[in-house]
Amino acid sequence: MGGTMLTFTRRRRAWFRDRTALVTGGSRGLGLLIARELAAHGARVAICARDGAELARAVEDIRDATGSRVTPFVCDLADTRQVDGLVDAVRKDFGSIDVLVNNAGIISVAPVESVAPEQFEAAMDVMFLGPMRLTLALVPDMRARGDGRVVNVTSIGGRIAAPHLLPYDCAKFAAVGFSEGLRAELAGSGVSVTTVVPGLMRTGSHRAARFGGQPEKEYAWFAAAASLPLLSMDAERAARAIVRAAARRRAELVLTPAAKAAVLAHGIAPATTVRALALATRVLPDAPADPQTGSPAGSSADGGDGVSADVPGTVARERGTPAWSRKAAVLGERAARRFNEPGPQGT
């Protein structure tokens, strides 16, 4: 029985060999690791991201790890013309895509008083509208062939709205709805859709996140939470689980025990879960005196006093992070260096 299951699993993983996979946000963090895992399974991998230099480093990383050739595409999913251009370029280079992994994301961490409408719009563009356009452009070819995989990497924030992450939450809620609805509509077509709902993972993404309100304090709690072993998951293990779920055509994959417990609790007692989140909000940093700028009253929003409404994680860290947070984030910092996340001062 065990041998039969092992053979079945190998056969499923072998499906990726000589198939073409496109991973958005594939230059760093979880996207880089998913692309690496797909390449290790024999797929022809294309990755896209906004930063050409990051993409070049990712291509080298995947080649060194797997010996596979990877094709990079510079694309900002928030730009409709660039998404259309990506579709055209991919079709020109590969003819068709067999596996689409929608992974690109941006994270804004701040109390709602310090969040601008534009940050909600940017989050929706990158994590919902862009992936939606890309998916709708590529799925018809999959349906015509009667085979394909779509993997939508959403978040526990798309099931339970975590405080101080509202733009991210809203975009991820939309992504979950799109992913689950798309799976239902594609049932029987040969195209499977897998909704991935990760909890916190040790990718080092706290360096790339943007922080408002009181940036240094917001960075301190977020970096620690995203790094602690009991709260976060090893990103390489997560990437393996995601590729395995795609091979098995799973409808949903919830990652981390904490995320599974939270989804269960919210399903059983949603009002109680929301009350618990309200209590958690009380221990998070307060909004500054001037919520429109993210700065204390009377100061400028340009960072002249060391405070800004939209600060990169690398900058927030360098401005001053408490010793407890630096110690708690050790594993996350190691992951950041390994998985091509931004370095000091955004370099």
Catalytic residues, by residue number, are: 168
d(CA 344, CA 341): 10
198-118-325-256 Cα dihedral, nearest 10 degrees? -10
Distance CA(327)–CA(346), nearest Å, equals: 21
| DSSP for 186-252, written as a single string | HTTTTEEEEEEEE-EEES-GGGTSEE-SSHHHHHHHHHHHTT-TTTEEEHHHHHHHHHHHHHTT-SE
What is the spatial distance between Cα 340 and Cα 333, in angstroms, rounded to a whole number?
Answer: 11
Query: Are the C-beta atoms of 94 and 195 separated by less than 8 Å?
Result: no
User: Counting Cβ atoms within 10 Å, is residue 160 exposed (0-12), middle (13-18) or buried (19+)?
Assistant: buried
Half-sphere CA count of 88, side-chain side, radius 13 A: 6
Rounded Cα gap, residues 342 and 339, in angstroms: 9
